[in-house]
Chain A
Amino acid sequence: MSAQTGHTERTLDQLIPIAHRISDAINSVIEGKPETVRLAMTVLLAEGHVLIEDVPGVGKTLMAKALARSIDCSVRRVQFTPDLLPSDITGVSAFNQELREFEFKPGPIFANLVLGDEINRASPKTQSAMLESMEERQVTVDGVTYQLESPFMVLATQNPVEMEGTYPLPEAQRDRFTARISLGYPSAKAELAMLAAHGSHSPLDELKPAAHASDVRALIAAVREVHVADQVRQYIIDLVNATRTAASLRLGASPRAALHLLRASRAYAALEDRNFVIPDDIQALAGPVLAHRLLPTAEAVVGRDLPEQALARIVERLPLPGR
């Protein structure tokens, strides 16, 4: 691995402490959610995007902000509203009177971390403009293509309760998010600690960047070299195939999902100081990475059999390859 990354780049062993520093910084703001923080970090290192879906007030935005703050990089926040236009995200070409030519004004998407708040409130047109740039990592305005900087990660939040006047993300769009994270209510103890910490001042203000964007770039490059054994690849394929044939699922996971799962598992393994992926990583990531892409059958909906449960059953029954 070190041979492949070259002598000029740092090895994974040297870089992982940086990742842990970022995690620690976020954990100091979000009380009692280390697993969620780790998932967010996993998605960052896997060059993916994360969809944070939860009820209001559990700290979705705080989480995204904390992640953005803990890394010394450009951060932009977009509050999605029904009247938001695609150009409000990608940027516009405006006519410069002095130079007598059109000049591109970059939109908020041109940042390392983009926080898209309440993404389901924007019109489908705007949503798709953003999602396209997420996938392509580039923006095309007036025939000119502008590359986005690396690292580039979109943290989109979505409120599943308040559905009136919203445009829920279609399945095809949800497929572009590497993982869906749900924060959930904090434990009583964590909530008590939160009251003590956030009561007088905001810890977010005290948060100092724990790493630079170049560190994150190096981390991402190092994570790509994490070893994935054939058996583990086979396991991913088996798992994805199983979702496609499960009786209670109308739509299974896509090949893109398999790719996302592979990338995420590399990052997850790296965050655990391991330079190889084990099936445990896949099992841990199966829910966050796959569940939001699955559609239950009508019978399963009536029987309140959520895709998460179907997925858990599959993981529990699917034999490991090459035992």
Chain B
Amino acid sequence: MNYRISVAAAFAVIMASFSEYALISGADWLLASMGAVIVVMAAGILTRLAPPQAVIGSTILAAGASAPLLADRSILVKVAGLAIIGCCAASASRVRLFRPLADIVTYLAALLLYLNLTLAAGKSFLYVIPTMASVHHLVALAHAGTALARYSPPVPDSKGVVLLAAASIGYAAVVVDILAVRLHRPAIAGLPLLVIFMSPVATAAKPSGIATVLTFLLAAIGYLALLASDGRNRLRGWGRIVTVWHYSGEDERLGGADIRGLAATGRRIGFAAVCAAIVAPLLLPTLNLHQLFSAQGGHPNQAVAVLPNPVDQLHSLLSSTRTLPVLSYRAAGTDQGEYLQVYVLNYDAARGIWTLLPPSPSTAIGVTPLSQPPGLSPGINVTQTTTTIRLDNVAGSSTGYDSSLFFLPVPYFPITINFEASSGDSWEEANDSLMIFSGNGDHAGMSYSVTTGKPVVTAAAEHSSAQVPHAIKAAYLGFRSSVTRQLTTIARQITRSAGTKFAMAQALEKYFQAPGNFTYSLQALNLPNSAKGLLTFLTTGRKGSCEQFAFAMAVLARLVGIPSRVAIGFTSGTQAHQGGLWHVTTADAHAWPELYFPTLGWLRFEPTPGGANGQGSAVQPSYATPKSPGGSKPGNNHQQHGQPGPSSPSRRIGAGHLRVPASDPLPPQSTVPIPSAPAPVGQILLGVLVLLLLLATAPAAARIISTRRRWHSAVNDQALARAAWQEICADLADLGLTYRASETPRALAARLCADTDMDDRTQAAMRRISTVVERTRYALESPPATGIRTDVRQVRRALAGNVNFPARLRARLIPASTIGPILRRSRHWFGQLTGWVSTLPTEG
């Protein structure tokens, strides 16, 4: 039986499934899907075995998979389970209908058993047989996976997503297997493959250009391999003729006529057809191939529930000409305002931008107490405030930050939350960022009260020597750009006099807040949100909105080793009168950095200038200013401590967003020299050079190591003789001197002595070697092999003297004895997979 086409079909599905990388992060889903495909392939092979094996196999699989049905209390369900098993068992009969039914049951049962084993083994009977509990677990996982599908890709590969991916790719593999192998229609099997390949295109996933081309090539290779394998299979059926003298033995090579030539011709025809298929569309003017290879894998405005883009929303709120009320709140027990956090952003090093942290994993509010804030140690005092918030109705959405997922504005960090007008919505809290969100988008007029805590920053906490946890370091310290070195230099210069991390953070904030250093301007909203734009902002532009300030400080903090993230939401807004309600409008939309300190957790900082020439309602937190021993505050008249205080009514209509004219440059007080010569190129070159050097020396090193091992492992005379002969053969291969596998030691020695330029001593050495090897191999007693290593060395020198310098160099650097077997093996495997091996040039 020929399994090649089954393997090719599975290979094609696996290759196509690589394109899902844009949808799901991580690698678990890929491994699980590969397993599913292999299981489906095995099930397919099982269905095509001879009837007794196929029937027994499919009945066993069906019985295993329908175990939960049989265990069910309902008689009807039990009967259904028995019917499935009976159908498989009945496929042994002559009734033809049962066979296809049994085949389909076999596929699905195998897939179910596989998914159950990988994802719900703990709840299964003996880890293998599914039970009601394991099936319920799988269903729950599938629901969790579907819930995650609302988010913008790539979604994290939680177990639910892995289940969905493995199941869907497994089902596609079933269809491909049935079409390509059972029905012999591999061309049509391209359709399910296309479904797998196209699924990222139908979503908002944005694969990069190279990755798109790569996944396209992988999928194409898989499909072409399937077609080629099928073509080869068909052609093999042609030339089977009965011959008189050869009989069909166990060895396939003996059976039938030699049709290798015919098969090779068939492959060449197939190859030409594939080439034509690729070239033909280029000649058709109506087809635009550029779309196929374009970098945009999908359109961002697809009608799929996606995570909002907080930066875009902030832009639209700030650049809006109308100022609309968003919410009002009252903080009990204090007359200070609260920054209201909506979104938390982290830097995505892979994409080079700041993106919303996916709100997963999350916990349903009301079921469990709210999560503890990350990093806050129990010894730190916390001031608690209860804030009652009422949302206004803003242009059809509740806060202006609208999306299909609604994120609630709350001060950081929430301890308890109560929804006064219970609308029946389910609220969830993201475990990591403590964002509170709901799947329902319309919450206009909703009221809720939230108790929040703020750590009291003491000098001891500032100087704490506790280490940042690895998880935080891994998630919140990454930054990658072509200008990292310049930015690092700037960050170091700003913080050079700071002793602790906390002092560094204070120095960074002071740098942004220092009068005249930076200008607040909403016109700079269009500054590119990239590392280069950041460098421009820090060095030459020095003009930006809260977004630039927040991102700049977050990046600089990361570069001096402080974990950072960016929060987007609202400032505390303005208070109508002392003790009155706080009103937050769209003009109070704001972005600010949050830095992480061990024992304190995430702390808000405020690099954006406040007041009339800045973001009107922005206030610096009290701990952000260094406490000088003299008790004097740094002389910064822009700084506002505590609450902004009752301000003129004009501020409430957006005085904070005065359009600062572009012709109002303030000379920068402290200038930071721009480091020149971008360095990473050099480092990359060096890395590439080292890699190349390693690659170049690897074969030579492997040859030396194999020689050493050969001699070291030779403990007796026989092993010495064997090692000597292997060495001579390897040397001949390396030097490019001919050596036939049929040559006996004696014949080889005679030929070398006759054909090559050897002195008498070397000839004697060569003869000694051949005699020892010959007697070791074929005589009753093996002779002593002392001194054979010296003889081998002498012969090697003489042989090397017979070839020119380039050949000697090649023997040293790329020894054929090392590379040859690797090439042969890879060619063999490639040939096994696709059957194209005969079209490649082979040795001999």
| A positions within 8 Å CB-CB of B | 1, 227, 229, 231-232, 244-245, 247, 250-251, 275-280, 283, 315-320, 322-323
Known: A245-B253, A250-B245, A251-B245. A317 touches B780 (CB 8 A): no
Binary interface encoding of chain B residues 214-256 relative to chain A, with 1 for a CB under 8 A from any of its CBs, else 0: 0000000000000000000000000000001110000001100
With A278-B774, A322-B777 already in contact, 18 other A-B pairs whose C-beta atoms are closer than 8 Å: A227-B779, A229-B777, A231-B778, A232-B778, A247-B258, A275-B780, A276-B780, A277-B778, A278-B744, A283-B742, A283-B747, A318-B741, A319-B742, A320-B743, A320-B744, A323-B725, A323-B729, A323-B741
| B contact residues around A231 at 8 Å (CB) | 777-778
Within 8 A of A (CB), among B700-751: 725, 729, 740-744, 746-747
A320 touches B245 (CB 8 A): no
| B contact residues around A244 at 8 Å (CB) | 246
B742 touches A278 (CB 8 A): no
Binary interface encoding of chain B residues 670-684 relative to chain A, with 1 for a CB under 8 A from any of its CBs, else 0: 000000000000000
| Cα A95 to Cα B729 with chains together (Å) | 73
| B contact residues around A315 at 8 Å (CB) | 742
Q: How close is A166's CB to chain B, nearest CB, in angstroms? A: 27
Binary interface encoding of chain B residues 767-781 relative to chain A, with 1 for a CB under 8 A from any of its CBs, else 0: 000000011011110
| Cα A275 to Cα B741 with chains together (Å) | 25
| A contact residues around B245 at 8 Å (CB) | 250-251
A283 touches B744 (CB 8 A): yes
Within 8 A of A (CB), among B251-289: 253-254, 258
B778 touches A278 (CB 8 A): yes
| Cα A250 to Cα B740 with chains together (Å) | 27
B742 touches A227 (CB 8 A): no
Q: List 10 A-B contacts (CB under 8 A).
A: A229-B778, A247-B258, A251-B245, A276-B775, A276-B778, A279-B744, A279-B778, A283-B742, A320-B743, A323-B729
The 5 closest A-B pairs by CB, nearest first: A319-B741, A276-B779, A229-B778, A279-B744, A227-B780
Q: Which of B244, B246, B742 contacts A320 (CB 8 A)?
A: B742
How many CB-defined contacts (below 8 Å) exist between A and B? 55
Q: Which of A232, A316, A322 contacts B740 (CB 8 A)?
A: A316
| A contact residues around B258 at 8 Å (CB) | 247
A275 touches B779 (CB 8 A): yes
Q: How close is A153's CB to chain B, nearest CB, in angstroms? A: 28
| B contact residues around A319 at 8 Å (CB) | 741-742
Binary interface encoding of chain B residues 571-602 relative to chain A, with 1 for a CB under 8 A from any of its CBs, else 0: 00000000000000000000000000000000
| Cα A323 to Cα B774 with chains together (Å) | 11
B742 touches A316 (CB 8 A): yes
Report the nearest A residue to B253, measured CB to CB: A245
Q: How close is B745's CB to chain A, nearest CB, in angstroms? A: 8
| Cα A322 to Cα B774 with chains together (Å) | 12
| B positions within 8 Å CB-CB of A | 244-246, 253-254, 258, 725, 729, 740-744, 746-747, 774-775, 777-780
| Cα A318 to Cα B740 with chains together (Å) | 9
Report the nearest A residue to B746, measured CB to CB: A280
The residue among B725, B774, B777 with the most chain A CB atoms within 10 A of its own CB is: B777
Q: How close is B256's CB to chain A, nearest CB, in angstroms? A: 12
| Cα A244 to Cα B729 with chains together (Å) | 30
| Cα A279 to Cα B744 with chains together (Å) | 7
Report the nearest B residue to A315, measured CB to CB: B742
Report the nearest A residue to B244, measured CB to CB: A250
| B contact residues around A278 at 8 Å (CB) | 744, 746, 774, 778
| Cα A231 to Cα B246 with chains together (Å) | 26
| A contact residues around B741 at 8 Å (CB) | 317-320, 323
| Cα A317 to Cα B245 with chains together (Å) | 22
| Cα A79 to Cα B85 with chains together (Å) | 83
Q: How close is B368's CB to chain A, nearest CB, in angstroms? A: 70
Report the nearest A residue to B245, measured CB to CB: A250
Report the nearest A residue to B774, measured CB to CB: A278
Known: A245-B253, A245-B254. A317 touches B778 (CB 8 A): no
The residue among A227, A231, A315, A323 with the most chain B CB atoms within 10 A of its own CB is: A323
| Cα A316 to Cα B740 with chains together (Å) | 8
B747 touches A280 (CB 8 A): yes
| A contact residues around B746 at 8 Å (CB) | 278, 280
B779 touches A317 (CB 8 A): no
| B contact residues around A283 at 8 Å (CB) | 742, 744, 747
| B contact residues around A247 at 8 Å (CB) | 258
| Cα A229 to Cα B778 with chains together (Å) | 5
| B contact residues around A276 at 8 Å (CB) | 775, 778-780
Q: How close is A277's CB to chain B, nearest CB, in angstroms? A: 7
Report the nearest A residue to B726, measured CB to CB: A323
Q: How close is A251's CB to chain B, nearest CB, in angstroms? A: 7
| B contact residues around A322 at 8 Å (CB) | 777
Q: How close is A72's CB to chain B, nearest CB, in angstroms? A: 33
Q: How close is A174's CB to chain B, nearest CB, in angstroms? A: 17
| Cα A317 to Cα B747 with chains together (Å) | 14
| Cα A76 to Cα B344 with chains together (Å) | 113
| Cα A251 to Cα B244 with chains together (Å) | 10
| B contact residues around A320 at 8 Å (CB) | 741-744
| A contact residues around B729 at 8 Å (CB) | 323
B742 touches A318 (CB 8 A): yes
Q: How close is A204's CB to chain B, nearest CB, in angstroms? A: 36
The residue among B253, B740, B742, B744 with the most chain A CB atoms within 10 A of its own CB is: B742
Q: How close is A238's CB to chain B, nearest CB, in angstroms? A: 10
| B contact residues around A232 at 8 Å (CB) | 778
A280 touches B744 (CB 8 A): yes
| Cα A98 to Cα B781 with chains together (Å) | 64
Q: How close is B727's CB to chain A, nearest CB, in angstroms? A: 13
| A contact residues around B779 at 8 Å (CB) | 227, 229, 275-276
| B contact residues around A277 at 8 Å (CB) | 778
Q: How close is A191's CB to chain B, nearest CB, in angstroms? A: 28
Q: How close is B257's CB to chain A, nearest CB, in angstroms? A: 10
| Cα A291 to Cα B345 with chains together (Å) | 85
| Cα A283 to Cα B244 with chains together (Å) | 29
| A contact residues around B244 at 8 Å (CB) | 250
| Cα A1 to Cα B780 with chains together (Å) | 10
| Cα A229 to Cα B777 with chains together (Å) | 8
Report the nearest B residue to A239, measured CB to CB: B742
| A contact residues around B742 at 8 Å (CB) | 283, 315-320
| B contact residues around A318 at 8 Å (CB) | 741-742
| Cα A227 to Cα B776 with chains together (Å) | 13
Report the nearest B residue to A278, measured CB to CB: B778
Report the nearest A residue to B780, measured CB to CB: A227
The residue among B258, B744, B778 with the most chain A CB atoms within 10 A of its own CB is: B778
Q: How close is A35's CB to chain B, nearest CB, in angstroms? A: 16
| Cα A61 to Cα B740 with chains together (Å) | 40
| Cα A316 to Cα B253 with chains together (Å) | 20
| Cα A283 to Cα B746 with chains together (Å) | 12
Q: How close is B738's CB to chain A, nearest CB, in angstroms? A: 12
| Cα A275 to Cα B779 with chains together (Å) | 8
| A contact residues around B780 at 8 Å (CB) | 1, 227, 275-276
Q: How close is B808's CB to chain A, nearest CB, in angstroms? A: 25
| Cα A277 to Cα B245 with chains together (Å) | 32
Q: How close is B601's CB to chain A, nearest CB, in angstroms? A: 70
Q: How close is B622's CB to chain A, nearest CB, in angstroms? A: 84
Q: How close is A279's CB to chain B, nearest CB, in angstroms? A: 5
| B contact residues around A1 at 8 Å (CB) | 780
| Cα A276 to Cα B776 with chains together (Å) | 11
| Cα A251 to Cα B246 with chains together (Å) | 9
| Cα A106 to Cα B516 with chains together (Å) | 136
Report the nearest A residue to B778, measured CB to CB: A229
| B contact residues around A280 at 8 Å (CB) | 744, 746-747
| Cα A317 to Cα B743 with chains together (Å) | 9
B777 touches A245 (CB 8 A): no
Q: How close is B404's CB to chain A, nearest CB, in angstroms? A: 70
B246 touches A245 (CB 8 A): yes
Report the nearest B residue to A323, measured CB to CB: B741
| Cα A194 to Cα B741 with chains together (Å) | 42
Report the nearest A residue to B776, measured CB to CB: A229
| Cα A260 to Cα B19 with chains together (Å) | 65
Q: How close is B814's CB to chain A, nearest CB, in angstroms? A: 23
